[in-house]
Structures are given as C-alpha cells and as structure tokens.
Amino acid sequence: DGGITQSPKYLFRKEGQNVTLSCEQNLNHDAMYWYRQDPGQGLRLIYYSQIVNDFQKGDIAEGYSVSREKKESFPLTVTSAQKNPTAFYLCASRAAAGSYEQYFGPGTRLTVT
C-alpha cells in the first residue's frame, strides 16, 4: 500500500530539547510539506520541498529545520528556539508542484513541558 507514515503518533519532550519528527512516503512524490495545526485553526506551512536536496521556508519556519536527502524522507526538527512547540504536526506530499492534491500522513502530536 502506498502512503505517508509519520512516527511517532505521540511525542513528549522537556523544554530545551530538540526533537525530530519522521515523515516517509512511498508514493514517489517529488514535493513534501510540513504543517502545524493548533486547536481550532487550519494548517500553517512550516517548510516545503519540491525536489531532493532543496527546500523552502513556509510561513512559520522560525525554530524549525528540515532536510531532504532522499526523495521519500522529509524529517522535521523542532529546536529549542521554537517558543511554543506543542502542537499537532502534519506531513504531506504531492506528485509535483502545481495542481495536484496533497496526501497527508496521520500526524504527530508533540507535547513539550
């Protein structure tokens, strides 16, 4: 079955620690995305990548970092510089930039205390 996997489903960290969220896709999609969703709000774009070894900042990139060394993988690191990291994080992919729907992973809920 093709799809997007995110792990873990729930993640707990102490304040001041960096944490990396995993996102893997086997859809052979070129483009991948990271979004943050807070209660009662829509999706806010953190970073996106349209091709391997290239990525761009989204609307709320501060305190986050990404890498795209392989087509199928797009890990997100939440650094200690992110002031309010507790949120639901969603990874998505699409076949290419342009008018294609995005496929979403199941999400990771990160809690930082």
Partner 1 sequence: SQELEQSPQSLIVQEGKNLTINCTSSKTLYGLYWYKQKYGEGLIFLMMLQKGGEEKSHEKITAKLDEKKQQSSLHITASQPSHAGIYLCGADIYTNAGKSTFGDGTTLTVKP
The rounded distance, in Å, linking the Cα atoms of 45 and 54 is 16
The site for partner 1, by CB under 8 A, has a size of 29
Nearer to partner 1, 6 or 82 (CB): 6
CB atoms < 10 A from the CB of 70, how many?
A: 11
Nearer to partner 1, 55 or 112 (CB): 55
34 binds partner 1 (CB under 8 A): no
Nearest alpha-carbon partner for 21 in 42, 47, 3, 41: 47
> Which neighbouring-strand residues pair with 112?
13
103 binds partner 1 (CB under 8 A): yes
Among 24, 25, 48, 87, binds partner 1 (CB under 8 A): 48
Among 90, 93, 110, 112, binds partner 1 (CB under 8 A): 90
What type of residue is 11?
L
The rounded distance, in Å, linking the Cα atoms of 108 and 29 is 21
Q: Applying CB under 8 A, which residues contact partner 1? A: 4, 6, 31, 33, 35, 40-43, 45, 48, 50, 56, 58, 88, 90, 92, 97-107, 109
